[in-house]
Amino acid sequence: MGKIVAGQYLSMDGVTESGWTGLAPAISPTDPHTAAYFNDAQVQQAVGELMAGNDAMLLGRTTYENLKGFFTSQSGPYFDAVNAMPKYVVSTTLESSDWTNTTVLRENLVKEITALKERHRQIGIGGSGSLVRWLIAENLLDELQLLVFPLILGGPGARFYTAQQPPATFLLTDCRPLDCGVAVLTYTKDN
C-alpha cells in the first residue's frame, strides 16, 4: 500500500496563511517575509526532494485553484511532470476540472482516498492545510514534512494547528537544519 505525504510551510508560530494579506499563503515565494528563503539553493533542493517521490497529488479546492492557473501556464520538465501527474481534488463545491489528469473527489472520501493509497506509491500534498488536518483526524496521513521558517509572523492569520484538531502522535524521523535557518522536519505516523 502506498502512502500520503503532506508538505507544509510554517512560521515558527505555526502561521500558514497571513491575515495581513487577506489569508493568502504567508510562507510562499511571493510573500515579502519569505521570498528570499525560496531563492536559497538548499530550500529549493529540499522542496524538490519533498515532491520527488510523488506519483500523484491530492489537493484541497483552494490549493487546486491556486496551482492550476500557475502550472498550466508554464512549461519545462518540472511543470510538464506535474501537469501530467494524476491529481485528485477534494471538494464539495467543485463540479469538474479541466486541468489534465484531475479527478474531483466528492463523496465517501475515506473510502476513495484509501483506494488511492492502494493505487499509488506516494501521494503528495502541498499546502491544503484543512485537508491535511482532516486526513490526520481520519488516520489517513502517513508522513508530515514541515519546512519551518525562522520567522514569527504573529498577528492575524491561519495557523496550521487549530484548537479543533484531534490529538495525533507522530515520530520524528528526520531533522535537517539548512544554512539559511529553515528547518526541514519529517514526521511519520506512529501506529
pLDDT for residue 191? 72
**pLDDT mean across residues, the chain:** 86
The whole-number pLDDT of residue 28 equals 67
C-alpha cell at 63: 490549493
pTM, entire model: 0.88
- Domain ranges, residue 86: 3-189
Residue 21 has pLDDT above 70, yes or no: no
The CATH number of the domain holding residue 29 is 3.40.430.10
Kindly give, in sequence order, each residue whose CB lies less than 8 Å from that of residue 139, ignoring residues fewer than 6 positions away: 168, 189
pLDDT per position as a tens digit, 59-74: 998 888 888 888 888 8
Q: How many domains does the chain have?
A: 1
Residues near 27 by beta carbon (within 8 Å), at least 6 away in sequence? 9, 10, 11, 15, 16, 34, 147, 149
80-97 pLDDT, tens digit per residue, is: 888 899 999 999 898 888
Q: Are 126 and 4 a contacting pair, CB within 8 Å?
A: no
- Integer-rounded Cα radius of gyration of the chain: 16
